[in-house]
Structure 1
Amino acid sequence: MSIPLYLAMTAAEFSTAPALPPRIAWMAMHFSVSGPGLSGRPHRLPPGSLVLLDDLTPWCGHSLESVCQETIDVLLRTGAAGLLLDFERPPTEETLRLANCLTQCCREAGCPIGMPPGYLDHGSEAAVFLPPLPCHRPPEQVLEPFQGREIWLEAATCGCRVALGPDGPSLTLENPQLLEAESESMPTFTDPHLHCRYYSRLNEAGVELALYDTWEMLTRKLEHCQAGENTDFCVFSPYLSLLERGLLQKNHFATDPLVLCPRRKASTWAPYFRAFFPLQM
């Protein structure tokens, strides 16, 4: 896959980086804690950057007009490639109104916009922003409801345990790296429909299945979604994983990407890449 890479950077990382990567995803813009508009607006960005607006600060008495005006000003002034509403809080009447307003403003400005499913208007042309594909469901099943709509997907490895006992199956999410490490002591198998690795073992309650992604399996899963319908598919995935799989060279960026902490933390690298290709349902 030919993947244009966007490196998501906080304001501190952007200002202190000795050299900038070819594509930036600005991960520092949110609702102000002391005013009606936004905080963390970039003063400058390389043309074609991606701008993220998050809801770390909840919407509370902010001005719809101010937020929309300041957001569009950032997009036009920086020549951004798109706006991603990285909202993790449940939609409210105010934030739904904001999403609709920003969609209209982006349409008029000719700028793509993506947002979580709960914020989409059925008549909107906005892209849908989805979490990583779970390993216990076929990709087609997860993506089918959004057929015909542009999809922006956060790509990351996932894992889960499925307990099969007398009370029926139960599922628990799990760290895929932990499951992969456990699998070294037992036979593992590949499921062609789920596109994941799995193993099983007996316990006192019955049978336990462990399903997990590796970066190799994740790549296959994305390739499985690659050709067919006229649907754009946008992928976000950690840069470190690409480095580990040999898809990028260590010196691809002058800055050191090897220290990764959970996204949302200040002063850490949270890199993602983005690609568009046809999607087969």
Structure 2
Amino acid sequence: MDIVLLAKAAIMGIVEGLTEFLPISSTGHLILAGSLLGFDDDKAKVFDIAIQTGAILAVIIVYWQKIHATLVALPRQHKAQRLVLNVLIGFLPAVVLGLLFGKLIKAHLFTAVVVASTFIIGGFIILWAEKRPPGAVRVEHVDDMTPWDALKVGLVQCFAMIPGTSRSGATIIGGMLLGLSRKAATDFSFFLAIPTLIGAGAYSLYKERALLSAADLPLFAVGLVFSFASAWLCVRWLLKYISSHSFVPFAWYRIAFGIVVLATAWSGAVVWAE
């Protein structure tokens, strides 16, 4: 396996892990990083989705105590049953809309200009959400969510099908606007990511299996390892950060980064792959 290609896989893994759970869009960053690295063919697109599994493994480890307790209590405890049901309900809209529109979105919206534009729009939405007068928080803890809460967050998650939107940003900020506390919205976003990203990765690998061979295993392994390591650090940091900080810095980052990408695209300073 080409060392340069493995190095690109490592970089992409780090980008995935650092951006998957922050409200700044991992897909958007992977599209832009892949364009800069020349790592943007059809196999690279499958790679981008598959390495999300490494990031999800990090979430499972960080939340293992909660996940294990929920699974153990599942046969007899209503609270555990409701949490699992809520995750499944929140997951369903992405499955349905992904199957209906996923191919169309990938064909027309996976471009640098679209990503940059949604970066900027999403940044202003975060600023608006954070500057709204604090409303009544209905749900303090993820265990207190109702199936209706879960469905609404699941529908909001579908906006992340547009690259550059951010799945975590949509679910966390959307959850907060729907009456969840910052902690409850973040926790549910992480739990919802487990079936969503594992399902997307498995489906992509199965659908594009003809593109892959045993020779690709080192490439995917490197991406998974670096995705896991960087996501583990990022998730632990984010859980501490949200206890005393808002998402405003991420909003300004999105806006500034989006403007830079648009400026370089329109000036020709960078030829972004389409």
Global fold match (TM > 0.5): no
Bigger relative contact order (CA 8 A; separation at least 6): 2
**What TM-score comes out, normalization by structure 1 length?**
0.23
Say which one has the larger Rg: 1
Of Structure 1 and Structure 2, the greater strand share is in 1
Of Structure 1 and Structure 2, the greater helix share is in 2
